């Protein structure tokens, strides 16, 4: 069997045929497994493009640390994730070692998942850099499964500056196999009616659950391929492997009925503003942050939610976008706290390389106020500020939001509206 494998730059018309030129049957193949390629390394290379094409390892070089990510050039030396760093550095002595930046990886991961959710509502994250997508509901809007897969890869490259591999099939298990087999930066579709034919060409370790110990056990039975597993009676597999024997036999026949199950672990509330004229002015930026902080805090309290993480978004005049986030403790729903944190994040950016086109603030990791732990403070002004905001909520509910604004925002409002009546 020669399934469709899209190489980097392959045109969408070429995606509809396999390597033998046969038109592919995409029906029923609505499940995708999308996996970023060497994720941590790829994120680091965005800022260090001179290292592209060289062996690169992300991990702490001292102590008993392990490899967190390795470029494909480093993998040619045998370097693998979770390998002791000391071993990896002996195997690839010319590799460039980069200390990990977990905050940055989480930030890019959130952008990856946001991109996936813009394609389909049915997204099941597996880790920071991979997820299952069911695109059945997006076919009418975005085209065939292969066209949607190509769209995902283009957007990951254009929006995030990294690459992804996409496996497409009729089940999660087979989609995961497909993405693994087309790495790096590829796409592979396994047709539903030819799934078994394809699986039976693979080595047994391609099946989920076949690690080193299970592989050794199976090989002692003369089982070396997925086809060998399929030909082995279920009873023999169960006697040898226990309860996992039946599951392994089902996988060898492509049986995996599990649906893609959306997981909503991250919720957020935010607001942003695009300036009429791009600006460098700190006063303009911080005043807008104050306005946005009050807007976000009011929405949080209205929804009876509080958050633990604060994020700042900046879009420059050339449309490049950066974001920064920080943990703020529990129970964040006060405009004063949001504003103080947002200004601190803005200051930490240092000198801006360009004028700012857009600024935004967002509170993430939300929980219900009834269940979220409270953030206590020894400074009574913190409580006073929040109490004043709550009072403002009540006034706004009765008389309208325009009746209560922070004093600092009055000047900008008067500039827009002109002087009031005398």
**Residues 183-215 pLDDT 10s:** 999 999 999 999 999 999 999 999 988 888 899
Active-site positions read 130
Annotated binding-site residues for Mg(2+) read 35, 129
Look at 295 and 133; give whichever has higher pLDDT.
133
> Given this model, what pLDDT does residue 415 score?
47
Distance CA 129, CA 2 (A): 28
For 159, which DSSP code?
A: I
β-pair partners for 130:
35, 127
Look at 22 and 134; give whichever has higher pLDDT.
134
The torsion angle over the Cα atoms of residues 40, 41, 45 and 51, rounded to 10 degrees, is 160
Q: Is 78 a residue whose pLDDT tops 70?
A: yes
Residue 318 banded pLDDT, cuts 50, 70, 90: confident
Q: Which of 251, 262, 7 is nearest to 133 (CA)?
A: 262
Look-up: residue for tokens 């693979």? Answer: 202
Neighbours of 350 (CB within 10 A): 7
Check if the beta carbon of residue 374 is closer than 8 Å to that of residue 330. yes
Q: Is the link from the previous residue into 123 a cis peptide, with omega within 30 of 0? A: no
Distance CA 142, CA 151 (A): 9
CA atoms within 13 A of residue 166's CA, in its CB half-sphere? 30
Contacts 24+ apart (CB under 8 A), 389-396: 389/294, 389/297, 389/298, 389/301, 389/334, 389/335, 389/336, 390/301, 393/298, 393/301, 393/302, 396/298
Q: Could you tell me the domains of the chain?
A: 1-194 (3.30.70.270), 200-252 (1.10.150.20), 268-416 (3.30.1490.100)
Distance CA 221, CA 261 (A): 36
Look-up: residue for tokens 């409002």? Answer: 413
Residue 306 banded pLDDT, cuts 50, 70, 90: confident
To 5 degrees, how large is the angle CA 230–CA 233–CA 237? 90
Q: Is 379 a residue whose pLDDT tops 80?
A: no
Q: Which range among 259-268, 284-293, 358-367, 374-383 shows the weakest confidence by mean pLDDT?
A: 374-383
- Assigned token pair, 115: 């991109």
Distance CA 306, CA 299 (A): 10
Q: Which range among 29-38, 284-293, 297-306, 394-403 shows the weakest confidence by mean pLDDT?
A: 394-403
Residue 224 banded pLDDT, cuts 50, 70, 90: very high
> Given this model, what pLDDT does residue 304 score?
78
Q: Which of 260, 248, 259 is nearest to 207 (CA)?
A: 248
Look at 422 and 19; give whichever has higher pLDDT.
19
> Given this model, what pLDDT does residue 190 score?
95
- Give 146-191 pLDDT, tens digit per residue: 999 999 999 999 999 999 999 999 999 999 999 999 999 999 999 9
Calculate the average pLDDT of the chain: 84
> Given this model, what pLDDT does residue 208 score?
86
Most distant pair of Cα atoms in the chain: their distance: 96
Q: Is 380 a residue whose pLDDT tops 90?
A: no
Check if the beta carbon of residue 362 is closer than 8 Å to that of residue 345. no
Check if the beta carbon of residue 232 is closer than 8 Å to that of residue 246. no
Residue 416 banded pLDDT, cuts 50, 70, 90: very low
Check if the beta carbon of residue 302 is closer than 8 Å to that of residue 394. no
With 0-12 / 13-18 / 19 or more C-beta atoms within 10 angstroms meaning exposed / middle / buried, residue 233 is exposed
Distance CA 417, CA 380 (A): 36
Q: Which of 396, 333, 329, 339 is nearest to 370 (CA)?
A: 333
Q: Which range among 27-31, 261-265, 306-310, 317-321 has the greatest average pLDDT?
A: 27-31
Q: Which range among 118-122, 186-190, 332-336, 406-410 shows the weakest confidence by mean pLDDT?
A: 406-410
Residue 411 banded pLDDT, cuts 50, 70, 90: low
Mean pLDDT of 348-370: 86
Residue 414 banded pLDDT, cuts 50, 70, 90: very low
For residue 40, give every residue at least 6 positions away whose Cβ sits within 8 Å of its Cβ, in sequence order, or none: 58, 68, 69, 100, 105
Look-up: residue for tokens 């893609």? Answer: 260
- Assigned token pair, 121: 């509502």
Q: Which range among 49-58, 203-212, 291-300, 375-384 shows the weakest confidence by mean pLDDT?
A: 375-384
Mean pLDDT of 34-60: 96
> Given this model, what pLDDT does residue 386 score?
64
- Give 233-291 pLDDT, tens digit per residue: 999 999 999 888 999 999 999 999 999 998 654 468 888 888 888 999 999 999 999 99
Q: Which range among 4-13, 266-275, 408-417 shows the weakest confidence by mean pLDDT?
A: 4-13
């Amino acid at each position: 069997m020669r399934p469709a494998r899209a190489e980097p730059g392959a045109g969408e018309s070429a995606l509809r045929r396999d390597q033998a030129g046969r038109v592919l049957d995409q029906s029923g193949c609505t499940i995708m497994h999308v996996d970023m390629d060497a994720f941590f390394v790829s994120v680091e290379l965005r800022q260090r493009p001179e290292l592209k094409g060289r062996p690169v390892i992300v991990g702490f070089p001292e102590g008993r640390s392990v490899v967190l990510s390795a470029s494909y050039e480093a993998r040619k030396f045998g370097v693998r994730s979770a390998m002791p760093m000391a071993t990896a550095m002996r195997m690839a002595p010319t590799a460039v070692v980069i200390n990990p930046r977990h905050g940055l990886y989480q930030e890019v991961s959130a952008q990856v998942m946001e991109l996936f959710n813009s394609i389909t509502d049915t997204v099941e994250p597996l880790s920071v850099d991979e997820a299952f997508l069911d695109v059945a509901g997006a076919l009418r809007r975005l085209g065939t499964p292969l066209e949607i897969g190509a769209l995902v890869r283009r957007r990951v490259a254009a929006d995030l500056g990294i690459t992804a591999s996409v496996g497409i099939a009729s089940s999660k298990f087979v989609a995961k196999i497909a993405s693994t087999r087309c790495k790096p930066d590829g796409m592979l579709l396994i047709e539903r009616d030819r799934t078994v034919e394809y699986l039976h060409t693979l080595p047994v370790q391609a099946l989920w659950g076949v690690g080193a110990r299970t592989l050794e056990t199976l090989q002692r039975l003369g089982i070396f391929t997925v086809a060998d597993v399929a030909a082995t009676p279920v009873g023999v597999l169960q006697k040898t492997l226990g309860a996992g024997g039946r599951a392994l036999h089902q996988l060898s026949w492509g049986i995996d009925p599990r649906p893609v199950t959306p997981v909503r672990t991250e919720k957020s509330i935010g607001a942003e503003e695009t300036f009429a004229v791009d600006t460098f002015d700190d006063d303009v930026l911080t005043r807008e942050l104050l306005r946005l902080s009050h807007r976000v805090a009011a929405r949080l309290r209205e929804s009876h939610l509080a958050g633990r993480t604060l994020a700042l978004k900046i879009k420059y005049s050339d449309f490049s976008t950066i974001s920064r986030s920080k943990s703020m403790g529990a129970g964040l729903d006060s405009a004063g706290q949001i504003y103080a944190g947002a200004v601190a994040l803005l200051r930490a950016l240092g000198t801006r390389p360009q004028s700012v086109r857009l600024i935004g603030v967002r509170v993430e990791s939300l929980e219900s106020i009834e269940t979220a732990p409270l953030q206590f403070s020894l400074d009574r002004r913190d409580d006073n500020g929040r109490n004043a905001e709550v009072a403002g909520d009540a006034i706004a509910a009765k008389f309208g939001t325009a009746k209560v604004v922070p004093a600092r925002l009055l000047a900008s409002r008067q500039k827009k509206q002109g002087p009031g009546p005398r």
